[in-house]
Amino acid sequence: MYSYYFKLALLSLRKTPLLSLLMVIMIAIGIGATMTTYTVSYMMSQDPIPNKSANLYQVQLDSLDYEFADGDTLPITISYQDVQALLKSDIPKNHVALSAIQEEIRHINNKDIEPRSLEVRSTTSDFFNMFEVPFLFGAGWSEQDGKDAAQVAVLSKETNTWLFNGENSVGKTFYFGKDTYRVIGVLDDWNPLPKFYALQNEAFKKPNGIFIPFNTQIQNELLTLKLMNNYCWKEPDDQSFASLLVSECMWVVFWVELSNKKSHDEYQTFIDNHAKEQQSLGRFPRRIFNKLLPLKQYLIVEEIISDDSKLAVWLAALFLLVCLLNCMSLMIAKFDAKSGEIGLRRAVGASQQDIVKQFAIELSVIGFVGGLLGLLLAKLGLIAAANTYHYLHSGLMQMNTQLTLGTVLLAVISSLVFGLYPIIKASYMQPSSQLKSL
């Protein structure tokens, strides 16, 4: 019977092409606008590393001499001297210190390749293992390379394509500022969204192009203040790099991977003991208050998952509502025009249920076509957004399979919900009054 209703739906669409087209366009515009904004919001709130997010913690230490923010919140960075102490622990499965610098990158001898100023991630050797970073060629640097501050680098796929035409560049060298660095690995596509491991203002920016050992940054005294969250609550003795390293300035992000509760508790004790030890040396003046902030909580606390995008979704949903209300009035007009046919079908034996089913299928077809067109509009909207906000992560502007299917489903369901009144009104039509109007 449903195939019969489907056939009738197609006939009906052919009979009133303009009205049907208007309904489809109305649904498509509403769905397109809603899904464009929803996609961005949805992608922003995804778990960036679902296999591990439960085991990843950001280390936050209260080494300040006054109450920070509300007293419960701590800076997301810690001082270099604390980093040095924490890196000695073997409790975490992995631990990572990271910062960022900006540097000019050039090909070693090919002058045709224009130099670029890239954001460089400086980190420790566990980074690639801890964050499940995929490699196309080579691998990350060893712990020893890290300790030795080797001038080695891991390139992103994009950087490798730019600098080495996408070839296996492991072993090749390039200019990193004035120095020469050797490529040790090339990443495959890796765009965790949000870019959770970095500073909160980088969360939706493009992935880093180059990774170098943290100690290499230190050894070469490289700093880019605008890429750091340098919380200097107590000024260093002087402006030298060496003074920064021994100061209370908090500028290094520190993550640990703790596989179970036991190691979590052990590590908490470890950092508390470290704080107590430092306290005896005159640091950590106020209290012993150190946090292992779970990744998901970190994303919420730092408002990386923000309410602004949700507001945009609500506004778009309101727009969809207006479109659907307009569509509803067109549905009423459409079914009114079919009153003669309804009367006839009722006379020859169609029950109210049969009429409801017939028109529900018709609206589903309209909703489905509107959904497909809306999907196209949403994808165009996302392409436009990606072009306008090119500095943002491209993954934000891409629909996954769930969202693609959800778009069409939303169109069909909303068509049916808003078609409910016109359909029921049509099914309750007094058949005898309409038999002369066919």
Partner 1 sequence: MLKMKSLSKAFVTDAIKTQALHPFDLTIEQGEFVSIIGPSGSGKTTFLNIAGLLEEHSDGLYELDEQNVAQFTDKKKSAYRNEKIGFVFQSFNLIPELNLYDNVDMPLRYRKFNRDERHKRIMQALEQVGLAGRKSHYPTQLSGGQQQRVAIARAIAGTPSVILADEPTGNLDSKMAEGIMSLLKDINAAGTSIIMVTHDNEQAAQANRIVQIKDGHLSEYTHNKKAIA
Q: Give the total residue count for the chain.
A: 438
Residue 26 CB-half CA count within 13 A: 21
Cβ neighbours of 159 (radius 10 Å) = 25
Q: Does 11 bind partner 1 (CB under 8 A)?
A: yes
Helix 308-337 × helix 401-427 angle, to 10°: 40
Q: How far is the CB of 312 from partner 1 (least distance, A)?
A: 44
Query: Which residue in 21, 347, 384, 417 binds partner 1 (CB under 8 A)?
Result: 347
> Cα(31)–Cα(419) distance, rounded to whole angstroms?
16
DSSP annotation of 226: G
Three-state secondary structure call for residue 246: helix
Q: Does 241 bind partner 1 (CB under 8 A)?
A: no
Closest by Cα among 177, 185, 129 to 152: 185
Residue 297 or residue 432: which is nearer to partner 1 going by CB?
432
Q: How far is the CB of 358 from partner 1 (least distance, A)?
A: 10
> Cα(337)–Cα(426) distance, rounded to whole angstroms?
10
Residue 353 or residue 387: which is nearer to partner 1 going by CB?
353
β-pair partners for 96: 255
Residue 9 or residue 98: which is nearer to partner 1 going by CB?
9
* Burial class of residue 107 in the structure, from the number of CB atoms within 10 Å of its CB (0-12 exposed, 13-18 middle, 19+ buried): middle
Residue 264 or residue 346: which is nearer to partner 1 going by CB?
346
Q: Does 17 bind partner 1 (CB under 8 A)?
A: no
> 392-431 mask for partner 1 (x: CB under 8 A)?
--------------------------------------xx
Residue 13 or residue 210: which is nearer to partner 1 going by CB?
13
Three-state secondary structure call for residue 95: strand
Q: Does 108 bind partner 1 (CB under 8 A)?
A: no
Q: How far is the CB of 371 from partner 1 (least distance, A)?
A: 25
Residue 2 or residue 66: which is nearer to partner 1 going by CB?
2
Q: How far is the CB of 438 from partner 1 (least distance, A)?
A: 5
Q: Does 19 bind partner 1 (CB under 8 A)?
A: no
β-pair partners for 211: 121, 154
Q: Does 166 bind partner 1 (CB under 8 A)?
A: no
β-pair partners for 105: 116, 176
Q: Does 337 bind partner 1 (CB under 8 A)?
A: no
In the numeric block, the tokens 């629909």 are attached to 399
Query: Which residue in 2, 14, 17, 391 binds partner 1 (CB under 8 A)?
Result: 14
Q: How is residue 256 written in tokens?
A: 């640990």
Q: Could you list the residues that contact partner 1 (CB under 8 A)?
A: 1, 4, 11, 14-15, 340-341, 344-354, 430-432, 435-436, 438
